[in-house]
Structure 1
Amino acid sequence: MHHPPSRPHRASRRLPPQALLAIVPPAPVLPAPVALPAGAADMVEASPRLVHWLRARKLCLALSTGESGKLLTLGAGPAGLTVFDVSCEIPGALLLTEKGLHVAAHRRLWRFDDALGDGERYRGTDRLCLPSQCRPTGAIGIQDLAVLESGKLLAAASAFNSVVRINSRGDLKPVWRPAFIDKVVREDRCHLTGFCLRDDAVAYVTVTAASNVKDGWQQAQNGGQVIDAVTQRAVAEGLDRPTAPRLTRNRLWVLESGSGWLGRVDLEKRAFERFVQLPGTPRGLRFVGNHALVMTSGEGAGIHWVNLKTGKTDHRLSLRGSIADAIDVAFIPGETVPRLAGLSFADSGLEEPQRIAG
């Protein structure tokens, strides 16, 4: 993954010089993945029928745990819940790929791909995901990820108040920003927290506040908005730190992190309708079947399987200790728990990125 300095994309050159970062990491090594250390049973606890639910649907989970610096994969093992971990520099937003997983770290965006062929196994699992790509983005505050049909990767970059496209070198090209943001500048003004796609284009975006001054969102209370990306109109206002807008079954769901609510947006009334309040701070949201999976951090941290018909929590995975600062969750199809491996000094955060003049 050694890339010689290259001429930045024309659109990327419009960003300030500090936005253009390139890192040449050492080649990753392959340590043997290990399960969580002694005491893991006290850190991860599944509700009684969760393992059966995962096994019946042939699904595993990947979790990012933020400041604790761990990526977890877990699922239904022969003897119950099986958990593996790998260290990563402040892992955050996750996105499933055809063969693996995108992981947004503090200053890099990793892609893991399955290195095993059909019929191959590694230490009891049929999926071993190794780093296949590292995009050195710098600390741009990636809050959310999505992929276009063309394969181009989009990210919510809170440091630039924009949804950006990230190429293989880590160069950024803004593709959308709120109308109240007058220019693309490296200042977190509105704290853009998430977005979703419809018809292969940015559809809805969440911001913490409609601020056009540096750190203005930190002074705003209940100033969050859900914005229609096409019309630039707010479809819900007055929210307490909205995040993770998700379209499913023609309904727009949003988390209100400040209050703990999962809710829907009535697009005609332009109002946020609360559905169920969860313990902790909601941060990640996925859907499978008739369930919304909500990742919460802090007190009551874990993943909550919210029944979309009843509003009740049918299953729960509780997280304690250092991994309670959970950020995101992703599904990984498979009967055996996949192992992630290969990150080393390249993601330790100890080396400084090299800046490329624009």
Structure 2
Amino acid sequence: MKAMGLVASSTTFSLGTMAAVTENQSNRDANHDAALRSVHTSNFPDLLDQLGITLLVTTYQAGKLVMLRSDQGVLNTHFRMFDKPMGLAADADRIAIGTAMQVHEFHNIPAACSRLQSSRLHDACFLPRVTHHTGDIDVHEMAWVQDDLVFVNTRFSCLAKRSGTYNFVPVWRPSFINQNVPDDCCHLNGMAVRDGDVRYVTALGDSNEASGWRANKKEGGILIDVQSNEIAARGLSMPHSPRWHDGKLWLLNSGSGSFGTIDLALGRYEPMVTLPGFTRGLSFYGPLAFIGLSQVRETAVFTGIPIADLPMEQRCCGVWVVNLQTANVIAFVKFEDAVQEIFAVEVLPGSRYPELVNEDRELMGNTYELPDTTLADDAGTGDSSPG
């Protein structure tokens, strides 16, 4: 396959001893069948390996969680099936995935790694802990906030959290939304945590009418300051994935395929780079931004936005890596055929080769995690370790 154009960077990153990235080749990923194939720049697996991370990617269109891992210098694209996976929250010890009608939470049980049937030694094993039934609320982005999992409830135009009694508990809604009804009035979709609290959200419009956001997709997008409940920026094109990082508010202006910052004083979006796809899904690691791209389908949802004017064959689906210090693209992985749309991209720190188990009944049924106090009480009475 012909290599895609790639802007090389001569900058040495500030993370450890990472060398400058200069490769611009695309290599075929041979780990999966043709329908799930991908191509990538030759430096992509080395980048993951040197950072000591794995990338988690959800594609609701293909119904999969993708784990992008480095396997001794080869990119391993590992798939796990879910029902319409969208929002992701991840740290070294837990992963949460929002699906069509549920939120699934997985915890890392390192002792279970030795029980995995694999030729490669895993350094993390995420097993299911909590499944919460939300109903069809179109869960979008999510994050742990003071140990509560807060998520964007798009159908009800609010932020919500889980409940032991209810499908969800609303915790905030925009000032222009009059009541909690499943009308997807403004298509609330993204959230940014700042100083330990949800501080900013994105929506595709400021309508209080059912599906009212659809009337002005091209430039009706808004950024809302949750604390003041005021609109902080207007005129955005289907914005997604606001993030507070390194003292700045970053945002994907998805309809234009761009990535940049919001000048909060002026309420103005300032693009840094434009990419060949519908930008959605954003995560940072040091000076690097990992950005999801989607081809976007030829449907009414995406008509009338700038990225839809780009011929389909020029639109890409995958993850692009941007160096914030130089504004250059330094690597990418591009999915082909079956995977055409991406929702979330999250860095899983501290793990180069993790596993997530959601279908191995024997392993899930015979691996136990108990409180440390219980294990201490059982010491000397038998093998009490997890697994």
TM-score by length of 1: 0.81
Would the aligned equivalents of 1:153 and 1:167 in 2 still touch at CA under 8 Å? no
Instruction: Tell me if the contact between 1:135 and 1:170 (Cα under 8 Å) persists in the aligned partners.
Output: no
Asked if the contact 1:88–1:343 (Cα under 8 Å) also holds between the matched residues in 2, the reply is: no
Describe the shift of the 1:250–1:333 C-alpha distance in structure 2 as closer, same or farther (beyond 3 A): closer
Q: Residue 308 of structure 1 aligns to which amino acid in structure 2?
A: L
> Any unmatched runs of 5+ in structure 2?
1-29, 296-314, 362-387
Deviation readout 1:97-153 (Å, 9 max, x if unpaired): 34231111111111122233288362222322222111111111111101112x111
SS at match of 2:182: coil
Once residues 137 and 344 of structure 1 are traced to their aligned partners in structure 2, the CA distance between those partners, rounded to angstroms, is 24
- State the partner residue of 1:52: 46
Equivalent residue number for residue 74 of structure 1: 68
Quickly say closer, same or farther: Cα 1:319–1:101, change in 2 above 3 A: same
Alignment of 1:286-301 (within 5 A): 286-298=283-295, 299-301=315-317
Aligned to 1:236: 233
Q: Which residue of 2 aligns with 1:349?
A: none
1:263 aligned to which of 246, 260, 264: 260
Distance (Å, rounded) in 2 between the aligned partners of 1:88 and 1:118: 22
- 2:186 partner letter: C
Q: Which runs of 5+ in 1 are unaligned?
A: 1-34, 346-358
SS of 1:120's partner is helix
Shift of 1:335: 5.0
2:55 is the alignment partner of 1:39 = no
Deviation of residue 341 (structure 1)? 2.1
2:276 match: 279
Deviation per CA, 1:236-262: give whole Å up to 9, x if none: 101111111100111101111111111
| Mean Cα deviation higher: 137-146 or 229-238 | 229-238
What displacement does 1:197 show?
1.9
Distance 1:225 1:79, change over 3 A: closer
- 3-state SS of the aligned residue for 1:54? helix
One-letter identity of the residue aligned with 1:61: L
Q: CA separation in 2, counterparts of 1:344 and 1:57?
A: 30
Among candidates 194, 212, 225, match of residue 208 of structure 2: 212
C-alpha separation in 2, matches of 1:263 and 1:114: 33
Give the equivalent residue in structure 2 for 1:181: 177
How has the CA–CA distance of structure 1 residues 228 and 336 changed in structure 2, closer, same or farther, with 3 Å as cutoff? closer
Contact 1:55–1:335 (CA under 8 A) maintained in structure 2: no
2:134 to 113, 134, 137: 137
Letter in structure 1 aligned against 2:65: L
- 1:197/1:203 contact within 8 Å kept: yes
- Per-residue deviation at 1:275? 1.3
Cα deviation digits, residues 144-192 of structure 1 (max 9, x gap) = 101112x111001110110111235663111111111111111110000
Which structure carries more relative contact order (alpha carbon 8 Å, separation 6+)? 1
Query: Following TM superposition, by how much is the alpha carbon of 1:198 offset from its aligned partner in structure 2, in angstroms?
Result: 2.1
Cα 1:107/1:267, change in 2 over 3 Å = same
Q: Is the 8 A contact 2:49 2:352 kept in 1?
A: no
CA RMSD across the alignment: 2.1
Measure the CA separation in 1 of the matches of 2:72 and 2:166.
Answer: 40
Partner in structure 1 of residue 224 of structure 2: 227
**Residue type at the aligned position of 2:329:** T
Q: CA deviation at 1:207?
A: 0.9
Q: CA deviation at 1:199?
A: 2.9
State the distance in 2 between where 1:255 and 1:302 align: 15
Give the aligned residue type for 1:77: D
Amino acid at match of 1:96: A
1:58-207 correspondence to structure 2 within 5 Å:
58-78=52-72, 80-117=74-111, 120=114, 122=116, 123=118, 124=120, 125-149=122-146, 151-168=147-164, 171-207=167-203
Q: 2:345 aligns with which of 302, 313, 329?
A: 329
Distance 1:47 1:172, change over 3 A: same
Check whether the contact 1:295–1:301 (CA below 8 A) recurs between aligned residues. yes
By how many angstroms is 1:226 displaced? 0.5
CA distance in 2, matches of 1:57, 1:76: 11
Per-residue displacement from partner, 1:60-100 (whole Å, max 9, x unpaired)? 11111112111121211025112221211011111103423
1:344 Cα deviation after fit:
8.3
Q: Across the two proteins, how many residue pairs are aligned to each other?
A: 309
Q: Percent identity at matched positions?
A: 28
Q: Distance in 1 between matches of 2:360 and 2:182?
A: 29
CA distance in 2, matches of 1:304, 1:83: 15
Counterpart amino acid of residue 55 in structure 1: D
- Listed one character per residue, the Cα deviations across residues 298-328 of structure 1 (whole Å, up to 9, x for unaligned) are 1311111111122110111111111222211
Bigger Cα displacement from structure 2, 49-58 vs 118-127? 118-127
Distance in 2, Cα, partners of 1:313 & 1:205: 26
